[in-house]
Structure 1
Amino acid sequence: MANNTQYGGDPLPDVGATYPSQNNQSKSGEDDWTKRPPYSIRSPEEFGPVKWRGKCQCGQVTYQLSRDRPLKSKFCHCRGCQVTHGAPFQWAAIFHKSDLAFTKGAEGLSFYSSTNDTQEYKLPTKVYCSYCRSPIMDEGRNVCLMFPQAIESADHDEHRQHWRETFEPECHIFYGKRVLDIPDGKPKWSGIDEQSDLLDEQGRKKE
C-alpha cells in the first residue's frame, strides 16, 4: 500500500496487488463499500463453513474466515509497517475479501488511507477497531491482509500447531529495510516478492 510521504514515512507496499479481484470493484464503487464483502451481511449458506475466527483486543470487533489457508503469508519489513505496527516487521496473511465476514462491530471500524491521507474509507486502507485501536486488516483493492495474531487458536497443542503451520510465512519482503537479521532459511526479497532481488540472511544480494 503506497504511503503518503509528507511526514517522512516510507511507502507502504501493496503486497496483494498481484492478486486478481473477485469483486469487479471500480474506484467509484467505494461509495458502496458497506454493501460488498467483507462488510456486507451474508447468510451462513452464502458464506460457507467457518474455518477460522478472529477478534480485536477488546472483543468489540469479531470476524470469521471461510478459507482453510491464506493465499500467502509474508513478513514485511518496510518502514511503514514497522511504524504503524510498532514492531520490527508485519506478519500478514492474504485472503480474498469474500473469505472474510464481520460478525460484530463492523459499524465500529476506523480507517486510515496513507495513499489518500484521509480517515475516510478510501482504498487502500488500514482498518482498526475504533475502541481499542487494534489493527484488523490492511484492505487493498483486490485482497485483504489479515494478521494471524488476531486469529484465534485453541489452547491445546494440536490445534496450536495447526494454526502455526497454516499461517507459516513463506518469505520476507522488503528485507533490505529490516531492523534485525532473521536467519530462518526463508526466501528474503529486497522489495516485493518475485519482483525484486533475493537477499541472503545478512541482506546481501544473492548472485
Structure 2
Amino acid sequence: MGSETETGAETGVVVRDSSTEEDWKSKPPYRTTPGNEPFDKKWTAHCHCGRVKYWLSRDKPLAAKFCHCVDCQALHGAPFQWAAIFEKQDLHFEKGAEGLAFYHAPDKTTAHRLPCKVSCAYCRSPIMDEGRNMVLMFPGIIKFGDAERRKLFDAQCHIFYSQRVVDMHDGKPKWSKLDGQSELMKEVERTDSGEHIVVGQARNENKND
C-alpha cells in the first residue's frame, strides 16, 4: 500500500519489540473504556459471537481497498478481503480485548508480534490486521444501519489483483500488487457466454510445512 497508509501488515516485515508480551494491552488500538480519555464514538463493530466489541472515532477510513492476495484468500476463506485503514488511536475497545487471538504470518506463530492478524479467540471472527502504525479493520463487522452510510467505506481500488480468483467489473483501479507501486491491470470485459474463468497465481507452499 502507499507509504502514507502503510501498516506493515502487507509487507511481511518482522518487527521485534523489546516490550513484554503483555504490554500491548495498555496501548492503542487495545485501549478499553475504563481509565481512558473521552472517545468520540462514530462506528461500532463486533465479532460474530459478540464477545469482542470496539468503536471507531473517525467518520471514514483513511483508505479502503479490496485485497486479492493468496494469503487473504486462505486466512479469510473468501475470494478477497475488504479492508479499511485507520490509525491505531481511532480504535477503542468496549469489551473483549482480553479475549483476542493473534497470528504472526511471517513465522506462523500465535504471538502478538507486528504485523499480526487479530481475531476473536472464541468465534474466530477476523477483527483486524495490526501493523506498525496503522490497523486494517474489516468493514463487514461494522453495524452500518443503511446503504448510504456504508458508502463511506467503499473501496477505492483493488490490490494484488494478479492473484485474483474472480474477475471484478466495477471500474475501480486494479493494481497487480500494492497500489501506486505496481502495474495497473486492464479490467477483463464481461462475456455473454456465462463462463467464468478463474485466474490467479497458484499457491507455492512448502510441502514440508
Query: Conserved in 2, the CA contact under 8 Å of 1:170 and 1:187?
Result: yes
From 6, 17, 21, the equivalent of 1:27 is 17
Q: What is the rounded CA distance, in whole Å, between the counterparts of 1:41 and 1:62 in structure 2? A: 10
Partner of 2:169: 183
Q: What is the rounded CA distance, in whole Å, between the counterparts of 2:119 and 2:138 in structure 1? A: 12
Counterparts of residues 47-58 of structure 1 (less than 5 Å): 47-58=38-49
Partner of 1:116: 107
Q: Following TM superposition, by how much is the alpha carbon of 1:111 offset from its aligned partner in structure 2, in angstroms?
A: 0.4
Partner of 1:196: 182
CA pair 126-54 structure 1, distance change in 2 beyond 3 A: same
Q: What is the rounded CA distance, in whole Å, between the counterparts of 2:173 and 2:33 in structure 1? A: 38
CA pair 96-26 structure 1, distance change in 2 beyond 3 A: farther
Does the alignment pair 1:82 with 2:73? yes
Q: Using structure 1 for the length normalisation, give the TM-score.
A: 0.81
Structure (1/2) with the larger helix percentage: 1
Partner of 2:55: 64
Q: What is the rounded CA distance, in whole Å, between the counterparts of 1:80 and 1:16 in structure 2? A: 19
Rg bigger for which structure?
A: 2
Please give the secondary structure, in 1, of the residue aligned with 2:5: coil
Q: What is the rounded CA distance, in whole Å, between the counterparts of 1:117 and 1:16 in structure 2? A: 25
Please give the secondary structure, in 2, of the residue aligned with 1:114: coil
Output one character per residue of 1:31-72: Cα deviation in whole Å (capped at 9) or x when no partner: 421111111235697243210000000000000000000000
Please give the secondary structure, in 2, of the residue aligned with 1:102: strand
Aligned length: 181
Q: Using structure 2 for the length normalisation, give the TM-score.
A: 0.80
Corresponding letter in the other structure for 1:28: S
